[in-house]
């Protein structure tokens, strides 16, 4: 039996279209939401990547800060990181010089590297100065060189960079200590994250710079205190005064980075300041003439008895040697008086090679060094005087032996017609000539005596003891002020006494007027003394070796045996000239 399947009645087409539309709409919305999710995911990934780069940049900055690198090297590495993180081409880092109120270029990532420390801007000058003064960042995406605050600096090619981002460097005390600039030649839009990152880097670097400067300040202070300690030890050492003073100026110049440091001592007799020590190798500076009291800055400091400082010796009126200052590159100067018991005995001069305002700490340290130098000088004088006192008995003994020998010679060569008074007068003058040396030794600072002063003293004594009221003798002493050790000075004093006495007794006998002249010459390694008189000349055929004149024999023996020199006596141009030459 056949069975037939019933075929359902077909429904009209289009009755399910709304459901299909709904499905399609849901699919489209799902696609939109998926695209939005993908976009947000991409943004999140980009943000994460950016944050990662920022974190890496900050990590690198922190690593550099903690590495203990010198300040200049640290700033240079920070400049490199700033360029990389902002995708720019140039970075310039300025630090504030508070003394001069200037911003100084200290690091550069571009062609300006060779201009580090050379470019300076006044505080508030240009965009960099404005950022420092206002403590606010500046963002210029394009045409930065048209900004009203822009200051053209050809060396930095400022007119070739379109974009610019500048942020202040702030330390932990919230003080501005510099500015960080990044630049690009093409216009560039800086993102908020780049601005934020550069500001964060600037804050980190600002704190690091503050720490670095503090450490450097402490190191400088320790070094300076060490210098002061070394100077104190030197004073109690066995070094000579000249060596101590040379050490003081050398250590002061090195420790405080001075161009030239010198010590000038006061010559009270001449009223002049004389350079006694300097670390400078400049011949012009070392050989410059002495300063009179009150002359130039150093002379004024001595007269006033207080420190004097000038910002630029090349420009100030009253500075004695501006030509030397320009040639040697000397700028700022401070003069510290050297005092012993409130008496100024000299001055410590310190020069810089750039204009510099001396800080209170520097003045305090230099004052301490000046006091140490003054103590060293006072100690040296005391040591010399002590040595003189300790050896005085030895010198007196030797001189008494010399006097005894002279008296024996006097007895041997005494003329029959010579009175006892004449003999005693000659002996007295010889003793007084020796005494003149010791009198000067007791007054001089060091164990040396001025030959010029010896000559003047002896000529005055001879006039007083041997020249009668009927005779007039003029005396002169000329030439450099030669200084001789005491043993040489004693021999020279006896020689000059004998020559002066011989001139009065033999050259001017029977005359009413005459003159005696002593001329001193320094010929490097040799001293030459000429004693001339315009009295009667030496007789024809005069032979010094066969002459029995006691005074001339004494002169010849002293010159040859004690001084190791030469003696001659001759007529020259109507004058009688005695010449003594001996090595120093």
pLDDT of residue 331: 93
**Cα 513 from chain centroid (whole Å):** 57
pLDDT confidence band for 247 (50 / 70 / 90): confident
pLDDT confidence band for 2 (50 / 70 / 90): very low
Mean pLDDT of 212-240: 61
pLDDT of residue 21: 63
Q: Is the pLDDT of residue 72 over 90?
A: no
Contact 165, 182 (CB under 8 A): yes
Average pLDDT in the chain: 80
Mean pLDDT of 285-293: 88
Q: Is the pLDDT of residue 399 over 60?
A: no
Mean pLDDT of 438-467: 72
Q: Please enumerate in sequence order all residues whose Cβ is within 8 A of that of 508, keeping only pairs 6 or more positions apart, or say none.
A: 471, 473, 514, 533, 535, 536
**Cα 439 from chain centroid (whole Å):** 39
More confident residue, 81 or 465: 81
Mean pLDDT of 219-243: 61
Mean pLDDT of 332-356: 91
Please work out, in degrees rounded to the nearest 5, the angle formed at the alpha carbon of residue 330 by the alpha carbons of 327 and 334.
150
pLDDT of residue 470: 78
Q: Is the pLDDT of residue 456 over 80?
A: yes
Q: Is the pLDDT of residue 214 over 70?
A: no
Stretch among 123-137, 421-435, 552-566 having the lowest mean pLDDT: 421-435
State how beta strands 308-310 and 138-140 pair.
unpaired
Q: Is the pLDDT of residue 8 over 60?
A: no
Contact 349, 302 (CB under 8 A): no
**b/e sequence 482-506, b meaning 16+ C-beta within 10 Å:** bbbebebbbbbbbbbbbbbbbbbbb
- Domains in the chain: ranges and CATH: 64-217 (3.30.450.40), 236-378 (3.30.450.40), 413-583 (3.30.565.10)
State how beta strands 526-533 and 513-522 pair.
antiparallel
Mean pLDDT of 125-145: 94
Stretch among 438-442, 464-468, 495-499, 519-523 having the lowest mean pLDDT: 438-442
Residue that the structure tokens 């919230």 belong to: 174
Mean pLDDT of 202-215: 75
pLDDT of residue 462: 79
Q: Where on the phi/psi map is residue 42: left (φ > 0), alpha (ψ -120 to 50), or beta?
A: alpha
Q: Is the pLDDT of residue 495 over 90?
A: no
Residue % of the chain over a pLDDT of 70: 75
Q: Please enumerate in sequence order all residues whose Cβ is within 8 A of that of 490, keeping only pairs 6 or more positions apart, or say none.
A: 399, 402, 434, 437
Q: Is the pLDDT of residue 12 over 80?
A: no
pTM over 0.75: no
Paired tokens of 521: 């010459």
Mean pLDDT of 211-238: 61
Contact 331, 354 (CB under 8 A): yes
pLDDT confidence band for 1 (50 / 70 / 90): very low
Most confident of 204-208, 323-327, 509-513: 323-327
Q: Is the pLDDT of residue 39 over 90?
A: no
pLDDT of residue 299: 92
Mean pLDDT of 168-176: 86
What's the alpha-carbon Rg for the chain, to the nearest Å? 45
How far apart (Å, rounded) are the C-alpha atoms in residues 57 and 201? 8
DSSP codes joined into one string, 76-120:
HHHHHHHHHHHT-SEEEEEEEETTTTEEEEEEESSGGGGGTTT-E
pLDDT confidence band for 35 (50 / 70 / 90): confident
pLDDT of residue 400: 60
Q: Is the pLDDT of residue 445 over 50?
A: no
Q: Is the pLDDT of residue 370 over 80?
A: yes
pLDDT digits (tens, 9 = 90+) for 421-432: 665 666 666 566
Q: Is the pLDDT of residue 493 over 90?
A: no
pLDDT of residue 483: 87
Contact 194, 167 (CB under 8 A): no
Mean pLDDT of 115-137: 93
pLDDT of residue 433: 59
Which parts of 110-204 are beta strand (E)? 120-122, 138-140, 163-170, 176-184
pLDDT of residue 330: 93
Question: Is the torsion defined by CA of 255, 258, 260, 266 positive or negative?
Answer: negative
């Amino acid at each position: 039996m056949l069975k037939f399947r019933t075929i359902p009645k077909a429904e009209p087409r289009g009755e399910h279209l709304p459901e299909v539309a709904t499905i399609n709409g849901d699919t489209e919305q799902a696609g939109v939401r998926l695209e939005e999710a993908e976009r947000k995911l991409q943004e999140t990934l980009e943000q994460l990547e950016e944050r990662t780069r920022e974190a890496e940049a900050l990590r690198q900055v922190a690593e550099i800060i903690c590495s203990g690198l010198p300040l200049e090297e640290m700033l240079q590495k920070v400049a490199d990181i700033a360029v990389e993180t902002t995708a720019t081409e140039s970075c310039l880092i300025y630090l504030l010089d508070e003394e001069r109120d200037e911003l100084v270029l200290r690091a550069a990532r571009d062609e300006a590297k060779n201009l580090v420390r050379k470019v300076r801007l006044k505080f508030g000058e240009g965009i960099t100065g404005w950022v420092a003064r206002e403590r606010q960042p500046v963002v210029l995406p394009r045409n930065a060189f048209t900004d009203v605050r822009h200051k053209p600096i050809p060396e930095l090619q400022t007119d070739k960079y379109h974009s610019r981002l500048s942020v202040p460097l702030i330390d932990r005390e919230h003080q501005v200590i510099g500015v960080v600039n990044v630049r690009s030649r093409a216009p560039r839009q800086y993102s908020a994250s780049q601005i934020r990152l550069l500001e964060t880097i600037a804050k980190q670097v600002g704190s690091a710079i503050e720490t670095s400067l503090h450490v450097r300040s402490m190191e400088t202070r320790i070094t300076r205190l060490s210098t002061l300690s070394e100077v104190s030890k030197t004073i109690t050492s066995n070094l000579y005064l000249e060596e101590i003073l040379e050490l003081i100026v050398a250590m002061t110049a090195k420790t405080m980075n001075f161009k030239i440091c010198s010590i000038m001592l006061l010559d009270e007799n001449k009223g002049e300041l004389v350079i006694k020590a300097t670390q400078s190798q400049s011949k012009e500076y070392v050989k410059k003439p002495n300063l009179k009291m009150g002359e130039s800055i150093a002379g004024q400091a001595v007269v006033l008895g207080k420190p004097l400082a000038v910002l630029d010796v090349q420009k100030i009126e009253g500075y004695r040697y501006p030509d030397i200052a320009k040639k040697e590159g000397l700028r700022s100067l401070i003069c510290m008086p050297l005092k012993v018991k409130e008496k100024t005995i000299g001055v410590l001069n310190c020069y810089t090679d750039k204009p510099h305002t001396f800080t209170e700490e520097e003045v305090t340290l230099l004052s301490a060094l000046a006091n140490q130098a003054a103590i060293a000088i006072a100690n040296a004088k005391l040591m010399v005087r002590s040595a003189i006192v300790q050896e005085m008995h030895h010198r007196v003994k030797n001189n008494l032996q010399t006097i005894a020998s002279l008296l024996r010679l006097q007895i041997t060569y005494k003329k029959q017609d010579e009175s006892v008074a004449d003999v005693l007068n000659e002996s007295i003058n010889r003793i007084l000539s020796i005494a003149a040396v010791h009198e000067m030794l007791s007054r001089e600072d060091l164990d040396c005596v001025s030959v010029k002063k010896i000559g003047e003293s002896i000529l005055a004594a001879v006039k007083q003891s041997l020249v009668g009221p009927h005779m007039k003798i003029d005396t002169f002493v000329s030439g450099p002020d030669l200084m001789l050790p005491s043993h040489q000075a004693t021999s020279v004093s006896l020689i000059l006494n004998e020559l002066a006495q011989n001139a009065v007794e033999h050259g001017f006998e029977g005359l009413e007027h005459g003159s005696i002249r002593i001329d001193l010459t320094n010929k490097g390694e040799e001293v030459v003394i000429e004693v001339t008189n315009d009295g009667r000349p030496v007789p024809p055929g005069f032979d010094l070796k066969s002459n029995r004149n006691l005074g001339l024999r004494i002169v010849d023996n002293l010159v040859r045996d004690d001084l190791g020199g030469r003696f001659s006596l001759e007529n020259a141009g109507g004058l009688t000239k005695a010449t003594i030459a001996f090595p120093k």
